[in-house]
């Protein structure tokens, strides 16, 4: 009987023996990669294998007599920019040509395209080269071998021990379940490849297929707009694709980029500015829509169409324009003239002879993510540790205590999360009195609120004396730096609950909050209500910032800039939700008493009062799943959104990828008088 080691050695020998079927040849200088055809839906077929569609840059690597070059699909050099990949490949002792994808992995194991675009050094994330094909090896051209044979050889010769270079996992059990798992995990999509397929350079044929979870498209930037009165460098990008050699307008995108990225993009835009309209016909950039009947006036700056980016979108309108697009990142690896509108072919036609059936195989999607290299506060073994935070010594004990029993997350996990999230969460706590919602025994243990910390808080902690509405004198803990944040966590404060106002103006909130609180409603109905709120805000031309509650509902913040009282804020919130209620009366209510709501969703505007609190952005919640109250782009507020999309395990990667998209809630407040006037003219 063969041992496991002997079996493995035998398999490796058989795989390498397949090289004899290759052609003797010199190493190719450049290879144009084989491309895949987009199809409409997944399928099962035993003659096909399935892989993750990685969200990164396609890259071919050439290893030749100790030298290494790595290039994009259009032969742009990657070896200096992604130097860890080059360094890892340079350690290999053989000559080869590899095909794969360079990605940056988040802590949840997902590839983050925006993180790859912004990658400058190893401190920016875990750079990985996923290799999925071997084209040439030690004097043998094997592109004419079947994919299954090339993959067997690749697996046999690929060195182990350096996680920068990984073999892209191959699955044979079924495309339907694999696609469902990819969708659940939030991946870009899957690849389906005929196991018998040869490698066809510079060819897009139907031997390789791609199926996307969400609609995404490469587009060319033909200009940008700037809204009247906006402080941003630009408000939206004007997008186009080539159709029969003509540059056609496909819409504009105004979400997905922060201030830092805008500055970098403007540096690329400046030398491309032109007076000539690049599109086949001039787009109407101020065209109203039913969602935005009175858009702010914008002016256009035209660009020579040479920069490529990628956007996601909800659908394409009848006139060929993207609805609800969101910027995903620049594509320096693509040429502008090659960007055409990509439409999915019918799967049955593409698979042709394959019989599409309903397989039941299960697939694990991605290998365990690399350790991110980002700081953690506490080591994984010691049960009690003392750390100096901002000059203050804090003791952390009972670190293995399970706080989320169903999910296995511990007290240590909570501390490490808040340490990593601190720079993002602190702006929403700074100078704000806090209600301490304590769960010292975990989410199922007894919990209690503590508002008065007089004589209990550390000497260095800031406190705020305040007489509550019931006449009690209390000293509230005040949010500040990391030390205060982690001190609260050490008390068992799983979630962070700041006031809507700061100690600088305690009677004037920084935002008005609309809390969509479901009862017997579906979450799709919560999403529908949030979309209705957005329609109202757009109609009266004021901003709103949306986040999951981390529990069951959705929170929407309207910036007030501390210019109005709590009474005025509550009145304004009531106006907004009354308009929404008129539209959705069948499943919403403004009734405060739970017993009188009849199972309907409560449109809560009464949170807008002194001393009231809700979980702030990026706060953990004491709920099964270890969910996080996560800010969203408005185009993410759609069917399919789930509270469990954002948890302690993936929130940091999401935050670092997107940046703080909620910060506008703390900036310049609305003109309430003008907003009320517009509401009066439109809705009453």
Between 439 and 372, whose confidence is greater?
439
**pLDDT computed for residue 413 by the predictor:** 93
CB–CB of 88/165 below 8 Å? yes
pLDDT digits (tens, 9 = 90+) for 492-502: 999 999 999 99
CB–CB of 493/438 below 8 Å? yes
CB atoms within 10 A of CB 381: 9
Residue range 623-627: mean pLDDT, rounded: 95
Q: Is the pLDDT of residue 281 over 60?
A: yes
CA 305 – CA 162 distance, rounded (Å): 40
Query: Which of 70-74, 347-351, 631-635, 638-642 is the least confident region?
Result: 347-351
pLDDT digits (tens, 9 = 90+) for 209-248: 999 988 889 999 999 999 988 888 999 999 999 987 789 9
pLDDT digits (tens, 9 = 90+) for 438-483: 999 999 999 999 999 999 999 999 999 998 887 889 999 999 999 9
- Could you give the 3-state DSSP secondary structure of residue 121? coil
Q: Where does residue 491 rank: exposed (0-12), middle (13-18), buried (19+ CB within 10 A)?
A: middle
pLDDT digits (tens, 9 = 90+) for 189-199: 999 999 999 99
- Could you give the 3-state DSSP secondary structure of residue 509? coil
| Residue 168: partners with Cβ closer than 8 Å, 6 or more residues away | 51, 52, 54, 100, 101, 130, 131, 132
Residue range 57-63: mean pLDDT, rounded: 96
Nearest to 432 by CA among 108, 679, 113, 666: 666
Nearest to 59 by CA among 99, 106, 116, 114: 99
In sequence order, the β-bridge partners of residue 247 are 242
Cα–Cα separations (whole angstroms), residue 200 to 45, 70, 208: 22, 20, 10
pLDDT digits (tens, 9 = 90+) for 528-585: 999 999 999 999 999 999 999 999 999 999 999 999 999 999 999 999 999 999 999 9
CA 140 – CA 142 distance, rounded (Å): 6
In sequence order, the β-bridge partners of residue 410 are 402
């Amino acid at each position: 009987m063969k041992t496991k080691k002997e079996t493995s050695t035998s398999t490796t020998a058989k795989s390498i023996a397949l090289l004899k079927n290759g052609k003797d040849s010199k190493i190719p200088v450049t290879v144009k990669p084989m491309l895949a055809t987009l199809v409409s839906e997944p399928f099962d077929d035993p003659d096909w294998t399935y892989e993750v569609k990685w969200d990164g840059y396609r890259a071919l690597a050439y290893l030749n007599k100790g030298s290494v070059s790595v290039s994009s699909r259009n032969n742009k050099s990657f070896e200096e920019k992604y130097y860890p990949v080059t360094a890892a490949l340079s350690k290999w002792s053989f000559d080869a040509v590899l095909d794969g994808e360079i990605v940056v992995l988040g802590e949840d194991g997902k590839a983050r395209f925006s993180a790859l675009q912004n990658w400058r050094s190893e401190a920016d994330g875990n750079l990985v080269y996923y290799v999925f094909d071997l084209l040439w090896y030690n004097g043998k051209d094997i592109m004419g071998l079947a994919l299954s044979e090339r993959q067997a050889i690749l697996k046999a010769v690929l060195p182990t021990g350096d996680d920068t270079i990984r073999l892209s996992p191959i699955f044979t059990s079924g495309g339907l379940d694999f696609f469902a798992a990819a969708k659940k995990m939030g991946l870009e999509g899957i690849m389906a490849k005929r196991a018998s397929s040869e490698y066809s350079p510079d060819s897009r044929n139907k031997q390789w297929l791609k199926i996307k979870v969400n609609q995404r498209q490469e587009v060319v930037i033909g200009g940008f707009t700037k809204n009247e009165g906006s402080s941003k460098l630009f408000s939206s990008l004007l997008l186009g694709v080539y159709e029969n050699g003509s540059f056609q307008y496909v819409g504009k995108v105004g979400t997905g980029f922060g201030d830092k990225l805008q500055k970098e993009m403007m540096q690329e835009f400046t030398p491309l500015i032109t007076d000539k309209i690049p599109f086949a016909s001039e787009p109407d950039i101020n065209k109203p829509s039913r969602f935005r009947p009175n858009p702010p006036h914008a002016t256009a700056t035209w660009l020579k169409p040479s920069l490529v980016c990628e956007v996601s979108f909800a659908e394409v309108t009848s006139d060929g324009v993207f609805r609800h697009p969101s910027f995903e990142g620049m594509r320096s690896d693509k040429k502008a003239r090659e960007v055409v509108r990509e439409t999915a072919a019918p799967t049955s036609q593409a698979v042709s002879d394959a019989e599409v059936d309903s397989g039941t195989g299960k697939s694990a999607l991605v290998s365990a993510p690399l350790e991110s290299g980002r700081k953690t506060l506490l080591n994984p073994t010691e049960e009690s540790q003392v750390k100096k935070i901002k000059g203050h010594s804090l003791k952390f004990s009972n670190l293995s205590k399970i706080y989320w029993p169903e999910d296995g997350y511990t007290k240590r996990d909570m501390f490490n999360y808040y340490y990593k999230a601190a720079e993002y969460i602190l702006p929403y706590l700074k100078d704000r009195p806090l209600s301490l919602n304590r769960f010292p025994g975990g989410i199922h243990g007894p919990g209690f609120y503590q508002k008065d910390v007089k004589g209990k808080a550390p000497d260095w902690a800031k406190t705020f004396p305040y007489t509550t509405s019931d006449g009690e004198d209390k000293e509230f803990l005040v949010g500040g730096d990391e030390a205060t944040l982690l001190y609260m966590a050490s008390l068992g404060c799983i979630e962070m609950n700041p006031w809507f106002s700061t100690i600088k103006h305690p009677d004037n909130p920084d935002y008005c909050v609309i809390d969509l609180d479901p009862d017997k409603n579906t979450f799709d109905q919560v999403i529908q209500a949030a979309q209705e709120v957005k329609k109202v805000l757009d109609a009266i031309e004021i901003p709103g910032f949306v986040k999951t509650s981390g529990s069951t509902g959705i929170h929407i913040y309207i910036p007030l800039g501390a210019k109005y009282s709590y009474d005025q804020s509550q009145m304004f919130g009531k106006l907004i939700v009354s308009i929404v209620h008129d539209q959705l009366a069948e499943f919403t209510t403004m009734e405060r008493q739970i017993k009188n709501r009849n199972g309907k969703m409560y449109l809560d505007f009464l949170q807008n009062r002194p001393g009231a609190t809700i979980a702030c952005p990026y706060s953990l919640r004491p709920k099964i799943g270890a969910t996080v109250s996560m800010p969203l782009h408005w185009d993410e507020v759609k069917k399919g959104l789930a509270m469990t999309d954002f948890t302690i395990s993936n929130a940091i990667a999401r935050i670092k990828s997107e940046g703080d998209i909620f910060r506008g809630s703390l900036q310049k407040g609305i003109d309430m008088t003008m907003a009320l006037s517009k509401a009066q003219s439109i809705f009453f």
